[in-house]
Chain A
Amino acid sequence: MSWTTLADVLAAACLLAGAGFALVAAIGVLRLPDLLSRMHAATKPQVIGLMFVLTGVALKLREPSVLGILALVVVLQMATSVVASHMVGRAAFRAGQVRHDLLVVDELGDRADDWEEPRGAP
Chain B
Amino acid sequence: MSIVVIVVAAMLGLAAAVLLVRMTVGPTILDRSVALDVLMAVTICAVGLYAGHTGSTTVLPLLLGLSMVGFVGAVSIARYASGSDDVAAEDDDDQRQGER
Interface of A with B (CB < 8 Å)?
8, 11-12, 15-16, 18-20, 22-23, 25-27, 29-30, 35, 38-39, 42, 45-46, 49-50, 53-54, 56-57, 60-61, 63, 65-66, 69-70, 72-73, 76-77, 80-81, 83-84, 87-88, 90-92, 95-97, 99-100, 117-121
Considering the chains assembled together, what is the distance between the CA atoms of A17 and B30 in angstroms?
28
Which of B11, B49, B64, B78 sits near A23, CB closer than 8 Å?
Answer: B11
Q: In the bound complex, do residue B31 and residue A38 qualify as a contact, i.e. CB atoms below 8 Å apart?
A: yes
What B residues does A56 contact at CB under 8 A? 48, 52
- Determine whether the beta carbon of B38 is less than 8 Å from that of A87: no
Q: Let me know if B35 and A29 touch, CB within 8 A.
A: yes
User: Does B55 sit at the interface, judged by CB under 8 A?
Assistant: yes
Which 4 A-B pairs rank lowest in CB-CB distance, beginning with the nearest? A26-B15, A87-B78, A84-B74, A80-B71
Residues of B within 8 A of A57 (CB): 48-49, 51-52
Separation of A97 and B14 alpha carbons in the complex (Å): 28
Contact of B38 among A29, A73, A100 (CB under 8 A): A29
Question: Chain B interface: which size bin?
Answer: 35 or more
Chain A contacts of B14 at CB under 8 A?
A: 23, 26
Residues of chain A with a CB closer than 8 A to B12's CB: 19, 22-23
Q: Which of A42, A69, A72, A120 has the most CB of B within 10 A?
A: A42
List 14 additional A-B contacts (Cβ < 8 Å) besides A29-B18, A29-B38: A22-B11, A25-B15, A35-B31, A45-B15, A57-B51, A63-B57, A80-B67, A80-B71, A81-B71, A88-B34, A91-B78, A91-B81, A95-B83, A120-B79
Q: Are A121 and B79 in contact (CB under 8 A)?
A: yes
Contact of B37 (CB < 8 Å), options: A11, A76, A84, A91 = A84
Is B15 in contact with A42, judged by CB distance below 8 angstroms? no
Is B68 interfacial (CB-CB < 8 Å)?
yes
Q: Which residues of B contact A22 (CB under 8 A)?
A: 11-12, 15, 38, 41-42, 45
Known contacts: A20-B11, A35-B30, A97-B86. The answer to whether A46 contacts B38 by CB under 8 A is yes
